[in-house]
Structure 1
Amino acid sequence: MKKLALLATALAIVSGSALAADMPVKAVKAPPPPAFDPWDIAFGGGIMSDYIFRGITQSNHKPSVTAYFEPRYNVTKDLQLYIGTSAESISFPNRAAAEVDIYGGIRPTFGAFAFDIGVWGYLYPGGTCYYGAPGIDFAGNFQGAECAEKALLNTNVIKKNLNFFEVYGKGVYTVNDNWAFGFNEYYTPSYLNSGAWGNYASITGKYTAPGTLFGSSGVGMFISGEFGRQWLGTSDSFYGTAAFPNGIKYADYNTWNLGVAFTWKVFTLDLRYYDTDLSKGNCNAFTSDFAARGNITAATGTFVTPINPTGVGSNWCSAAGVAKLSFDLTAMTNLK
């Protein structure tokens, strides 16, 4: 009798389990994907041993600090709109102490191709006017009391207002995780408010080392370089010479840089070499370098060129090595 009771109980358990297995199970819904947030903000800053722009120092070969702030709106994952502002400490001939940039544009992406098209404004607040006495330009125009009472010892001249803007287009083709190549194109109707149009074009290349190069340290490395050419038009009469009273045709020049950078988390240490093929005389004519000096000796002669009759020479366009430590963050990636 006990055996029959145990058998009945076992059959009931088995039968119940089978019925439970046959019962339909309600599927558990997967959590919804996170909502697409189109807004983002990029920001960062850095310190560098020299601020070089297109091969020419903007800080008199002295250290400079920089920072930027850039709100972004992602229309889709392949189309971004952005505006931004950045600032750098400088040492300019008109005694402006900072460059303040305001820019904006659009960044479309098509597979391995990424483009950037926009407008960039360069502002130099706090400038003052300097003119070699007596304050009359070579076209016979009086430059005003402010210019007349101030003169650079090397006879260079500079305007108070150097603000200007450029329109630009950039592109990068990413070959794979290691290689990328790009181009840049910038145009302005008046470079540094000189009256001379400017066109800058360059090609770039970048090699990113495999992430395992430094083991599990999290340190990355890349090597990058750029070769560019700056074309320049004729300045207005403020920068004229006796030979060219209505302005001077600035010398076109080539510039290049090559460097290696190390990354760790949000930090980048960039070690880079810059140079141009501008002579010291043509560099002086273009930059109005307040620190430019003459070099009149029997052995070396002077820095006289067709557009630099004073013989004063500038080293602002000479070769320079620059170390820069910077950090870069985005709100969506780094602040969540």
Structure 2
Amino acid sequence: MKKIALATIAALGLTGSALAADMPVKAPKIAAPVVTNPWDIAFGAGVYSNYIFRGISQSNNGPSVNAYFEPRYNVNPNLQLYAGLGGWSIDFSNRPTAEIDIYGGIRPTFGPVAFDFGVWYYYYPKGECYNAAVPGECALNGNILPNTANNVIKKDLSFLEYFAKATWTVNDNIAVGAGYFYDDNWLNFGFDAQYVSGNLKLTAPSNWLPTGFGLYASGEFGHYFLGRTDAFYGNIRLPDYNTWNVGLALTWNVFTVDVRYYDTDLSQGECNAITSDFNATFDPGAFVPGVNGALGNAYGSKWCGQAYVVSLKADLTYGSNLK
């Protein structure tokens, strides 16, 4: 009897082990890898009381609007490729319909230092040529200012620019930047030009303002190295010049309101030689020997002087603002 009981217990133990081994075991849950879309799109628009480009008004000291569209591809968290298309409303001497910007480049980041290397094409479509001394269309149009022999301009001012920029984010409140820009035929004047600049941005601590708001001050100082024009402009040596701006900006969500002061060290006569301003006025004090010819051609432009610009901008990215 004792042998039968022991046999029965052994049989039950073996059966229990076998059944336990055959029971399905629930596999532990494994978190699915997070898939990040490397593509993103930045876009925005702005309204400006004056469109000033490196110290010189491109909108006859009047208002301007702009917009841009920029697809981006993030190779990894520290490397971005991008291309863009933008445009500005302008009022420049050869009367183009707009400024169209076509650009692209690469943005590598190394710790707190961000770089930007690329190429930018400034396209000014449907301009008009003014130079009574040049046969054809230019002669038919005459001079921009009929009572001057000096203000002439080409139909096409488009040019290509190569650039390299760097920004060092010191901390949440301080960023320092620098840039180098090379133009192989600046504004189609017939010479290559170089522009170098440095900038500083000071951002207010986040606890200074209500949630969602930001405040920063920023400024830039730049220098343009120009050259000698081709025969169309009389083979004159255009002056190098300094330009600077400083401003204060308030941000909320995707919007920025910016108030900024601009200036250059160009005289009104030098400014007119560079811009062929159709609003230039006669001023004996604007005479610059070797730049604007005889004293009778001493016309001055106010496109390069002191200016205060107020702007309202909106800048968004699909990944941060719309998803």
**Among 262, 274, 277, the residue aligned to 2:262:** 274
Confirm or deny: 8 A CA contact 1:304 1:312 kept in the other structure.
no
AA paired with 1:212? N
Structure 1, residues 294-328: CA drift from partner, whole Å, max 9, x if none? 124xxxx4434321121010111001000010000
Structure 1 CA distance, aligned partners of 2:217 and 2:289?
Answer: 37
Structure 1 CA distance, aligned partners of 2:178 and 2:308?
Answer: 23
Q: Partner of 2:298 in structure 1?
A: 311
- CA gap of 1:33–1:268, structure 2 versus 1, over 3 A, is farther
Q: Is residue 106 of structure 2 the alignment partner of residue 106 of structure 1?
A: yes
Q: Is residue 194 of structure 2 the alignment partner of residue 199 of structure 1?
A: yes
Structure 2 CA distance, aligned partners of 1:27 and 1:225?
Answer: 60
Confirm or deny: 8 A CA contact 1:94 1:159 kept in the other structure.
yes
Structure 1 CA distance, aligned partners of 2:322 and 2:289?
Answer: 54
Q: Partner of 2:144 in structure 1?
A: 152
SS at match of 1:283: helix
C-alpha deviation, 1:263, in angstroms: 0.3
Confirm or deny: 8 A CA contact 2:237 2:290 kept in the other structure.
no
C-alpha deviation, 1:249, in angstroms: 1.0
**Among 313, 323, 326, the residue aligned to 2:310:** 323
Confirm or deny: 8 A CA contact 1:268 1:327 kept in the other structure.
yes
Structure 1, residues 38-61: CA drift from partner, whole Å, max 9, x if none? 100000000000000000000000
TM-score for the superposition, normalised by structure 1: 0.84
Structure 2 CA distance, aligned partners of 1:335 and 1:288?
Answer: 44
Structure 1 CA distance, aligned partners of 2:174 and 2:28?
Answer: 44
C-alpha deviation, 1:26, in angstroms: 6.4
Q: Is residue 181 of structure 2 the alignment partner of residue 190 of structure 1?
A: no
Structure 2 CA distance, aligned partners of 1:86 and 1:118?
Answer: 15
Q: Partner of 1:129 in structure 2?
A: 129
**Among 282, 287, 303, the residue aligned to 2:275:** 287
TM-score for the superposition, normalised by structure 2: 0.88
Q: Partner of 2:10 in structure 1?
A: none
SS at match of 1:96: coil
**Among 179, 198, 205, the residue aligned to 1:210:** 205
Structure 2 CA distance, aligned partners of 1:76 and 1:158?
Answer: 46
| TM-align CA RMSD | 1.4
AA paired with 2:291? I
Q: Is residue 245 of structure 2 the alignment partner of residue 237 of structure 1?
A: no
C-alpha deviation, 1:215, in angstroms: 2.9
Q: Kindly report which structure 2 residues correspond to 1:24-173, keeping only aligned pairs within 5 A, or say none.
A: 29=29, 31-131=31-131, 135-136=132-133, 143-150=134-141, 151-153=143-145, 154-155=148-149, 156-173=151-168
33-42 or 100-109, which moves further after superposition?
Answer: 33-42
Q: Partner of 2:321 in structure 1?
A: 334
Confirm or deny: 8 A CA contact 1:179 1:207 kept in the other structure.
yes
C-alpha deviation, 1:30, in angstroms: 5.8
C-alpha deviation, 1:33, in angstroms: 4.1
Q: Is residue 179 of structure 2 the alignment partner of residue 178 of structure 1?
A: no
Confirm or deny: 8 A CA contact 1:100 1:122 kept in the other structure.
yes
C-alpha deviation, 1:335, in angstroms: 1.1
- CA gap of 1:192–1:28, structure 2 versus 1, over 3 A, is same
Structure 1, residues 69-114: CA drift from partner, whole Å, max 9, x if none? 0001111110001110110000111111310010000000000110
SS at match of 1:176: coil
Which ranges in structure 2 are unaligned for 5 or more consecutive residues?
1-24
SS at match of 2:251: strand
AA paired with 2:289? T
Structure 2 CA distance, aligned partners of 1:220 and 1:28?
Answer: 46
C-alpha deviation, 1:27, in angstroms: 8.1
Confirm or deny: 8 A CA contact 1:281 1:305 kept in the other structure.
no
AA paired with 2:135? G
Structure 1 CA distance, aligned partners of 2:267 and 2:102?
Answer: 32
Confirm or deny: 8 A CA contact 2:161 2:181 kept in the other structure.
yes
**Among 222, 225, 238, the residue aligned to 1:228:** 222
C-alpha deviation, 1:31, in angstroms: 3.7
- CA gap of 1:302–1:206, structure 2 versus 1, over 3 A, is closer
